[in-house]
Chain A
Amino acid sequence: MAKTIIDAHNVTKTYNPEKVPVYAVQDVHVHIEEGEFVALVGPSGSGKSTLLNMMGGLDEPTKGSVIIDGVELTELSENKLIDFRLHNIGFVFQAFNLIPVLTAKENVGFVLQLQHMPKKEREKRVLSLLEEVDLEDKIDSKPGELSGGQQQRIAVARALASKPKIILADEPTANLDSKSAANLLNIMAKLNKEENITFLFSTHDQRVIKKARRVITLVDGKVDSDVQQTPT
C-alpha cells in the first residue's frame, strides 16, 4: 500500500466564533495517499478553499489536525511552516500566482533560489520545468505578456520546482477557457502519472472533475461523498 501523504483529522474551521459563527469546515476526515489525483468539489461556500488552505498550512484549523507526510502542521512555528511549505507543498491559485515583475524563467527559479540551489543547476531545472508545461519559448516573458492559461501553466511549473510531495490547486482553471483548462489538466495528469506527484485541486468544472481519479464532495463544510472513478 502507498503511504499516506495528507492526513486531515477531525478538521474544523469556525470563523467569528464569538459573534456570528460561520462553520466553514466541520469535522472533516480525509486521507490522501501518495500519487493520488483528487478533485475537491462542492457548491460555492461549501468550504473547499478553507480546507485547502488548512491542508497547505496557510490557515490554522480551529480544531483537529493536518499531518503532511508525517509532520503535524499545527505544531510548527510560523517561520518553520513557511519553510515547510517551501520544500513540501506547491500551490496553484486561481489567479495572481506569479510575481509580475519577474519573467517566466525568474518566477520558476525564484523558489529554487529561496532553496539556495546553485545557479547552473537551477537554470537547467527551470528550463526542463518550462518544457514540461510546453512554455520553453516564453522563458523571458513577464506574466503580463502571457495568456491566463500560459500563466497557470507557469504557476504549475513553479509549484513543481521545489519537488514538493503535493500540489494544492484552488480552482486553477476558473479563469480559463475550456481548451486551456483541458490543456492544464492534461499537463497535471501527466505529471501525476510520470512523476508520481500528488494533486489535490478544487473545481466547479464538470469536465475537470471527469479527469480526476477520486472526487471528494463537500457540502456545508462536511464531506458529502468520497468516490473513486476512472478518468475520462
Chain B
Amino acid sequence: MLFQIAWRNIWRNTSRSLVVVSSIIIGIWAGIFILSFSWGLYKNNINESVYKQLSHIQIHNPDFKQENDPKFTIPNSDSILKQLESDNRIASVSSRVIATGMITSTTTASGVTIYGINPVSETNQIGLDQNLIEGVYFGSGKDNEILIGQKLAKKHKLKLKSKVVLTFTNVNSEIVSAAFRVGGIYRSKNISLDEVNVYVKQEHLRELLDLKPSETNEIAILIKDEEQLDSITNYSKTLVPNAKVEDWRQLAPELDLIIESFNLYTYIISGLILLALTFGIVNTMLMSVLERIRELGMLMAIGLNKRKIFFMIMLETIYLTLMGCPIGLLMGWLTVTILGRTGIDISMFSEGLASYGFSSMIYPALDQEKYMIIVTMCLITAILSAIYPAYKALQLNPSEAIRKI
C-alpha cells in the first residue's frame, strides 16, 4: 500500500515531478556526453601516438635504449621481419636504423634524430607520405634524399632540393658527414617532433653507419586487434630472445596515466552533476513534504509509524530518481553509440588542436566500466537525496502538524 501511495503522491504535482525527472535525464545524458567526448579526445591522442609514432610494440637492443648509440643493433632483422610479416595478427612491421647527429645548412646547424626507414612499410606506420606538404615521397630515386619537417625547414630556411649536411658518429666511433638533398617537407600532428625528426633511406644510412646488412636499431609492430597486444608481445619476446620488447604502455607511460586518470575524471564529472541534481531533488522533496505537513500529521495520528512515514517519503524520492536515471543512461548510451559511429567534426577548432596531436574527427566512446560508475553514482544519489526529506518528515510532531489545519 505504501508503494502505491508513494507512487500516486509523486503524480499529485505532475509538472513538478516531470521537471525533476527531466533534469535527472538531462544531467545524466550531459554527463555521459561530456565523458564520452573527452574520452574520444584522449583516444584520438593515444591513437595518434600509437599509430603514427610508437606503434603497438617496439623491439630494441637493450643497450640501445640506454646509450642511444646505433652500434647496439638487433642482428638478423630481415628474418625476424619476415616471420612477423607472415603472422596474420599483425597489420604492419617496420625496421628502423636510428642515429642522432647534427644537420647543417648554409644558415645554421641543429641537432636531429635521423631515421633510416623503409619507405614502403612505413606508409602504414609513420605515414609520412600522407603528411607531405611539399615534394614527392622518396620520389627522386636517389640515395641521398631526405625528408624534413616544416618547422625544421623554416628554421634553416630550407626549400625543396636544398642541400644539407648530416654529421654523426658511426659504429666505429668515427665522425661521418654526408650530403643530402631535401626531397620532401612534411607536417605531422606532432609539431614539436617535426623539428628534430628527419627521415632518410635505410640502406644508405646503414652504409654510412657501417652497420652490417640486416642490422637495425628498432623494429616497430602495428597489430590488428588491441586485445591481442599481450599475446603478440610475448610471442615477439620468444622470437627475439635477447632484445627488449615493449608495448606502447611501457613506451609511453604518460599515455597509461591518462587512461588511469580518466577514471578519476569520470568520478568527478558524474559526482558534480549528481551533486547538483541532489540539491534539486532534495529541494523539491522538501517542498512537497512541507506542503503535506497536515496530511503527514493525520497519517501519524491514525497509526502510521515513523518508520513507515520515512519509508514512504524515501520511496517517493527514489521513484523520481529511478525514473530519470535509466532514461538518461539510455539516451546517453544511444548518443554515444550513434556519434561514436559518425564521429564529430571539430575542424573548426582543430587548427590549435593539431599542434597537440589531435585529429579533427572525434569519436565519442565510453566503456562499460564507466557506465557502471555512473549507474552506481546514480543509485547513491537516489538514496542520499531520499534520506534528508524523509528525515525532515520524521521531525514533525503530530499534534503540531494537525494544528495547522
Contacts A53-B399, A82-B305, A158-B302; is A94 near B9 (CB within 8 Å)?
no
B5 touches A114 (CB 8 A): no
Closest CB in chain A relative to B142 CB, distance in Å: 89
Closest CB in chain B relative to A113 CB, distance in Å: 5
Contact of A216 with B by CB under 8 A: no
20 additional contacts (CB under 8 A) given A79-B307, A83-B303, A97-B298: A49-B403, A58-B398, A58-B402, A78-B306, A82-B304, A82-B306, A85-B301, A86-B303, A91-B302, A93-B301, A93-B402, A93-B405, A95-B405, A96-B294, A99-B299, A101-B5, A101-B12, A110-B1, A111-B303, A113-B1
State which of B302, B305, B397, B399 has its C-beta within 8 Å of the C-beta of A79: B305
State which of B9, B294, B301, B403 has its C-beta within 8 Å of the C-beta of A101: B9
| Interface residues, chain B, with chain A CB atoms under 8 Å away | 1, 5, 8-9, 12, 294-295, 298-307, 397-399, 402-403, 405
List the A side residues contacting B9 at CB < 8 Å: 101
State which of A82, A96, A99, A158 has its C-beta within 8 Å of the C-beta of B300: A82
Contact of A140 with B by CB under 8 A: no
List the A side residues contacting B300 at CB < 8 Å: 58, 82
List the A side residues contacting B12 at CB < 8 Å: 100-101
A sample of 23 inter-chain contacts (CB < 8 A) reads A49-B403, A53-B402, A56-B301, A58-B300, A58-B301, A58-B398, A58-B399, A79-B305, A82-B304, A85-B303, A86-B302, A93-B402, A96-B295, A96-B405, A97-B298, A99-B299, A100-B295, A101-B5, A101-B9, A102-B8, A110-B1, A111-B302, A113-B1
Q: Which residues in chain A, 78-128, are within 8 Å of chain B measured between CB atoms? A: 78-79, 82-83, 85-87, 91, 93-97, 99-102, 106, 110-111, 113-114
Contact of A224 with B by CB under 8 A: no
B306 touches A79 (CB 8 A): yes
Contact of A59 with B by CB under 8 A: yes
| Interface residues, chain A, with chain B CB atoms under 8 Å away | 49, 53, 56, 58-59, 78-79, 82-83, 85-87, 91, 93-97, 99-102, 106, 110-111, 113-114, 158-159, 162
List the B side residues contacting A96 at CB < 8 Å: 294-295, 298, 405
A82-B299 Cα distance, complex, nearest whole Å: 10
A99 touches B303 (CB 8 A): no
Closest CB in chain B relative to A120 CB, distance in Å: 16
B303 touches A59 (CB 8 A): no
List the B side residues contacting A162 at CB < 8 Å: 303
Chain B binding site: helix, strand, loop or mixed by DSSP? helix
A82-B398 Cα distance, complex, nearest whole Å: 10
A91-B398 Cα distance, complex, nearest whole Å: 12
A59-B300 Cα distance, complex, nearest whole Å: 12
Closest CB in chain B relative to A58 CB, distance in Å: 4
List the A side residues contacting B8 at CB < 8 Å: 101-102
List the A side residues contacting B307 at CB < 8 Å: 79
A53-B404 Cα distance, complex, nearest whole Å: 13
List the B side residues contacting A85 at CB < 8 Å: 301-303
Contacts A58-B402, A82-B305, A93-B402; is A102 near B5 (CB within 8 Å)?
yes
List the A side residues contacting B304 at CB < 8 Å: 82, 114
A184-B402 Cα distance, complex, nearest whole Å: 21
Closest CB in chain B relative to A35 CB, distance in Å: 23
B295 touches A114 (CB 8 A): no
Closest CB in chain B relative to A220 CB, distance in Å: 19
Which one of B12, B306, B403 has the greatest number of beta carbons of chain A within 10 Å?
B403
B5 touches A99 (CB 8 A): yes
A40-B33 Cα distance, complex, nearest whole Å: 66
A100-B12 Cα distance, complex, nearest whole Å: 9
Closest CB in chain B relative to A141 CB, distance in Å: 15
A49-B301 Cα distance, complex, nearest whole Å: 14
Which single residue of chain A is at the shortest CB-CB distance from B305? Answer: A82
What are the 5 closest A-B residue pairs judged by CB atoms, nearest first?
A: A86-B303, A101-B8, A59-B399, A58-B399, A53-B399
A111-B302 Cα distance, complex, nearest whole Å: 7
List the A side residues contacting B299 at CB < 8 Å: 99
Closest CB in chain A relative to B345 CB, distance in Å: 51
List the B side residues contacting A95 at CB < 8 Å: 405
List the B side residues contacting A58 at CB < 8 Å: 300-301, 398-399, 402
Which one of B295, B299, B398 has the greatest number of beta carbons of chain A within 10 Å?
B398
Contacts A53-B399, A99-B5; is A93 near B298 (CB within 8 Å)?
yes
